[in-house]
Structure 1
């Protein structure tokens, strides 16, 4: 009995810890599932989820019933099939969710790191890049030269002298061939044969072509924004989980604000007249078209929007009036 109680207590503590972790909340799960390709709203996803199960239930029901079985047996078989489908789909959904979660949190972490890099001063950027390269095996890193948006470092790696050029640009400004040739000249000036050029943006096509035809005496490695962020990820310099949760929470909050803005615009008191006139137009037009049912359905929708908007506007005005009266009564008691 004590073992059972101990197990239940342990399970209860783990469950509470799981609930406290907001990265496992429904809001965060919905965020992980969201993507640019999937334009469905949360309500639409729920409807799809329910419809799939309804289709499965009735498909099995008809299939079994048409084979000559009783309705009771058909319903039982449909319920069992639906239950089996649900049980099998749970680990598949969880596995898919873990993949989405990992990818989304990685993207958020990379965005946060990238934003922090762009906001660093030259001195901060020099220290940061020194730390990054030290963590991937470079040693004796020294700063040679600093310019606006560019830093030049010298380091050693596997007994080789390496020249490292760092260009802090935004996404819309790529490193050009002119800057690449200048870096090669610096390699020659310092008598170094190997170099790495890092940028927070990307390289032009001509830069990549130039690297392919570069003399065998020199070896250059180009690291664009994506490669740099992947290196930072391997060095475990990404933001902690709490900061990633905060960033995700902020994005969810902004999405809710946008939805509230659209809702306010759709139910604005200025739309009441428009909804009402549209209802009249659709109701009259329904008798002059072969699509009478569809027109009447849309007329009903617009009438519902008109009434809903009127009720919301009435309640808002009444609340404002009540607040005014409450304020007046408050000062009358003095």
Structure 2
């Protein structure tokens, strides 16, 4: 299925039903008086989260969504039927803006959660409401009000705990394949990944977290080079970033320059992504002997003046993966506890200690 993370749709709520002008027509009651009923309210349009969806591709084909109009009022004080609400299923993580005014409307963050995007019109009043001692045969009623009509910009932002950053061929797809059941395309050429992938990583029997892999970002992405930075938005909801660095690049490029390149593009992207906690993950450890790898790691950390956590891994031999996964699991427990107003685990500060690949 094609991955589509943006769509423009039009929604129309139902108009309210009109009020009725009617008079009683009953035997032996010559002056029956007014009995026109009210109209029904128009149906509203609501977006509903559906965990079974993971793309907005359906909205590329069905762009117009209209709720039911309210029924007009009838005689004998009968109120018109309300219009049915229209429920539009969207993937969990969908963000909604008004396409014309750029007004932020809301987000759908859970399965079954509903978001009102167009309110139905209010019903009109029948002539029974206009009866008075001086106006015993009113012939006026009111029309129902029109429902909201809006053009919406839907934007899917994936929900993940951990996001992967790195240049093309840094080993992001290999990592998510090694630690989860996700099976993105893996090949020895750049831009193998063309759309984001999600994987669930198990940490023991009862704990897990979600990791997101996006297409590689290259220098100049903010100006449209490569695949651009449009996929960086999928990392905006992550709690933690893993910055993957190829320690054995085929072209002989400098790993430190690769790190600075990604940092610059993330800064241009904004949205506070550059302020997110970031761990350094040195990949392709199996392609170098221990001495060479240690020398390159020391040189990289010294040039970057890096003080955060550092992990060295090989997705092929699985070296270093278990310590990385366990550290991520412990850190996420700490972050979730902090978000909930509680305290993290007692050993949380130990999770920030750099990981030495040559002694683990």
Task: Identify the TM-score tier after normalising by the shorter chain.
Answer: under 0.3
The structure with the largest strand share of the pair is 2
The structure with the largest helix share of the pair is 1
User: Structure 2 length normalisation: TM-score?
Assistant: 0.22
Whose radius of gyration is greater, 1 or 2? 1
User: Structure 1 length normalisation: TM-score?
Assistant: 0.23
Bigger RCO of structures 1 and 2 (CA < 8 A, at least 6 apart): 2
